[in-house]
Structure 1
Amino acid sequence: MPSSVPSFAELPGHCQRSAVHLELRDSYAATDRYEAWKRGERINWEHRESWWHPYDQLIADTVSRGVVIRRARVIFEPVSDYIRWEHYVTHANVTAGEEVRWLPRRLATAIALPGNDFWLFDDALLRVHHFSGDGGVVEDEITADAEAVKLCSAAFEAVWERATPHHRYQV
């Protein structure tokens, strides 16, 4: 059965003003890149062609149209190895044009957080990520439900306000 959820690549292309992404997990399904990092392999950031992916280009193209893209991560401290790796590879996100911030979970107690990671496009359309316990994507859901949009927008802005910019957050 074909999915009625548009691919992620379609959504930034239709975005006019803003896209925000809230991440609430301390680990996601392991990737080859993460496993290589755990073995001590590092990216040569000076050779962009070796690490620049279609996602990075999609973000760069979207930002070049004037869309502001912000990502916030709520994390436990001390951080997990996965978060150490995520912090390391965030160089690619920032190079592509994303603004990224980190919020220790202990500072999020007074924030009403949604139960799932999400992207919010132009304060109107949510792409909600549903994960399995081991961090694999189970499915994505698209909704424009006004209450869900309001909760997610408020949660993101509250996290963003308290979070530390990527260049200042040390893992």
Structure 2
Amino acid sequence: MVTEPTFESLFRSARHSAYHLEMRDAYGLDDDYREWASGNPFDPAERWPWWIELVSASVARGVAVHRARIVSEPISDYVRYEYELTHGHNVKAGEDVRWLPRRQASGLALPGNDFWLFDDTSVLFNHFAGDGTMTGEELVTDPAVVKLCSSAFAAVWELATLHEGYRPDR
């Protein structure tokens, strides 16, 4: 029996790059989001130490971990939650994070789903229901799809603003 690699195994086996493109204004409203929304701040590094370890270990072995977020402005409450946690969660782990206002992405050819692109050889699409609940993943290695996602990510990355310089309330 052949099993599909897991997200974690794909991440841990990346040799050069792990790029993530997020294009939704809300994802599943889990307990962490609800806690944040009720005004109870928390330390993302304490909440998700497995992510800090996974990314830190990958960056230490030379993997570039980039995350680009295409967002509507004014940003949604969920994106504000992501924005406020990005430094303590993503950046602290070693990710480079950039933000692109959706109005600046109109001229870009983008795939229909969020994805992770590993080493320009495989794409793991994330599928979501309308309410933002994740419904599954799909691993694709078709060179044409990989090329589309690689080009899309590069185009977004070039236009996007570094997390440190992005101000969603301009």
Match of 1:97 in 2: 94
Larger deviation, residues 35-44 vs 57-66:
35-44
Gaps of 5+ in 2: none
CA contact (8 A) 1:21 1:72 kept: yes
Shift of 1:7: 1.7
* Equivalent runs, 1:150-169 vs 2, <5 Å: 150-169=147-166
Specify the SS of the correspondent of 2:7.
Answer: coil
Question: Does 1:144 find its partner at 2:141?
Answer: yes
Match of 2:75 in 1: 79
Specify the SS of the correspondent of 1:70.
Answer: strand
Specify the SS of the correspondent of 1:9.
Answer: helix
- Give, in whole Å, the separation in 1 of the partners of 2:137 and 2:4: 7
* 1:3–1:36 distance in 2 versus 1, CA, 3 Å: farther
Shift of 1:94: 0.3
> Which of residues 95, 113, 132 is equivalent to 1:135?
132
- Give, in whole Å, the separation in 2 of the partners of 1:141 and 1:3: 15
Specify the SS of the correspondent of 2:136.
Answer: strand
* Equivalent runs, 1:38-53 vs 2, <5 Å: 38-44=37-43, 48=45, 50-53=46-49
Spell out structure 1 runs of 4+ moving beyond 6 A: none
TM-score by length of 2: 0.94
- Give, in whole Å, the separation in 2 of the partners of 1:76 and 1:160: 16
Gaps of 5+ in 1: none
Specify the SS of the correspondent of 2:27.
Answer: coil
Task: State the number of aligned residues.
Answer: 167
For 2:139, give the aligned amino acid: I
TM-score by length of 1: 0.93
Q: Percent of aligned pairs with the same residue?
A: 48
For 2:129, give the aligned amino acid: S
CA contact (8 A) 1:5 1:141 kept: no
